[in-house]
């Protein structure tokens, strides 16, 4: 009996993305080396002129779609002033609970790409781990990038990443995964629609604390050609200074799974 058969016989509660996943997100992301990622962020931003944190007024960073705030927290620990937002109230709840009484903790808010209209002007803006792929239309990415530009100081930096089509085709085109953790289990059913360039991942989550209940979240992401993202950046009056393969300081290859773009206000 395959897992999908089991899933489809269950009655499940459909919830919005990250409503329940927020509670298990850090565990299912435990394979991601966020320390290395934060080091990469600091390294690349510093190379393009971000001042150090020994300055009396350390650089001010904004992280968009910060999720459960792991990178934001690590950047704050490194002495940066960090504001961070995410559209999911449950992700922000987890982020806030993680920083607790930390000195210099990031300032977390619930907000959306589509309404970004920051009061502050930042030294750098970040948007990491496939978050841009949640924007389903190119014109909405353009709108978001223009908002990012307006949030930056002159010469401010923007670092974001995006998943590649290679990643969807090789790893997520028609896959099913099951994982059992200490106090929950989940099934992830992944489908890639090549023609529409839409990646759909359905999560079926069972929490041990709620026996007999299955939550379903459908996550839809658009996969963009790298050239499409380059064109959008240029339309948004920013300039790309470096593209990297994952968090290596090497140019992307055909088999890159995720590409970072380091941009500066034009």
Ligand X SMILES: C[S@@+](CC[C@H](N)C(=O)[O-])C[C@H]1O[C@@H](n2cnc3c(N)ncnc32)[C@H](O)[C@@H]1O
Q: Judged by CB, which is closer to ligand X: 7, or 140? A: 140
Kindly state whether residue 131 participates in binding ligand X, applying the rule CB under 6 A. yes
For ligand X (CB under 6 A), the number of binding residues is 16
**Using CB atoms within 10 A of its CB, is residue 14 exposed (0-12), middle (13-18) or buried (19+)?**
exposed
Question: Is residue 217 near ligand X by the rule CB under 6 A?
Answer: no
Helices (H), 78-177: 89-99, 138-151, 165-171
Does the footprint of ligand X cover residue 65 (CB under 6 A)? yes
Distance separating alpha carbons of residues 248 and 131, to the nearest angstrom: 19
Find residue 222's DSSP bridge partners. Answer: 198
Per CB under 6 A, does 128 bind ligand X?
Answer: yes
Judged by CB under 6 A, does residue 130 bind ligand X? yes
Note whether 91 binds ligand X by CB under 6 A.
yes
Q: Give the nearest residue (CB) to ligand X.
A: 67
Nearer to ligand X, 60 or 220 (CB): 220
Is residue 166 within the footprint of ligand X (CB under 6 A)?
no
Residue among 52 and 110 whose Cβ is closer to ligand X: 110
Please identify, using beta-carbon distances, which residue of 131 and 168 lies nearer to ligand X: 131
Strands (E), the chain: 12-14, 60-64, 81-86, 107-110, 122-127, 152-163, 174-180, 184-193, 198-207, 214-222, 238-245, 258-265
Decide if 198 contacts 222 (C-beta within 8 A): yes
- Contact positions vs ligand X (CB under 6 A): 18, 65-67, 71, 86-88, 91, 112-113, 128-131, 134
């Amino acid at each position: 009996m395959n897992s999908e058969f089991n899933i489809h016989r269950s009655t499940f509660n459909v919830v919005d993305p990250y409503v329940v996943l927020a509670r298990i997100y850090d565990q299912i992301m435990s394979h991601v080396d966020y320390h290395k990622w934060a080091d990469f962020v600091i390294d690349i931003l510093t190379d393009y002129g971000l001042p150090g944190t020994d300055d009396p007024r350390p650089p001010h960073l904004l992280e968009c779609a910060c999720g459960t705030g792991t990178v934001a927290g690590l950047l704050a620990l490194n002495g940066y002033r960090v504001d961070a937002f995410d559209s999911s109230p449950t992700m922000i709840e987890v982020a806030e609970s993680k920083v607790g009484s930390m000195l210099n903790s990031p300032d977390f808010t619930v907000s959306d790409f589509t309404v970004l209209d920051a009061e502050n002007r930042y030294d750098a803006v970040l948007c990491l781990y496939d978050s841009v792929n949640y924007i389903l239309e190119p014109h909405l990415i353009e709108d978001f990038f223009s908002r990012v530009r307006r949030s930056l100081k002159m010469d401010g930096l923007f670092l974001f990443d995006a998943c590649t089509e290679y990643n969807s085709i090789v790893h997520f085109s028609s896959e099913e995964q099951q994982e059992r953790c200490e106090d929950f289990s989940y099934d992830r059913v992944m489908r890639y629609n090549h023609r529409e360039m839409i990646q759909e991942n359905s999560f079926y989550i069972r929490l041990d604390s709620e026996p007999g209940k299955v939550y379903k979240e459908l996550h839809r992401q658009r996969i963009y050609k790298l050239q499409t993202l380059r064109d959008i950046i240029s339309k948004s009056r920013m300039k790309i200074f470096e593209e990297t393969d994952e968090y290596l300081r090497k140019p992307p290859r055909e088999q890159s799974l995720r590409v970072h773009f380091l941009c500066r206000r034009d």
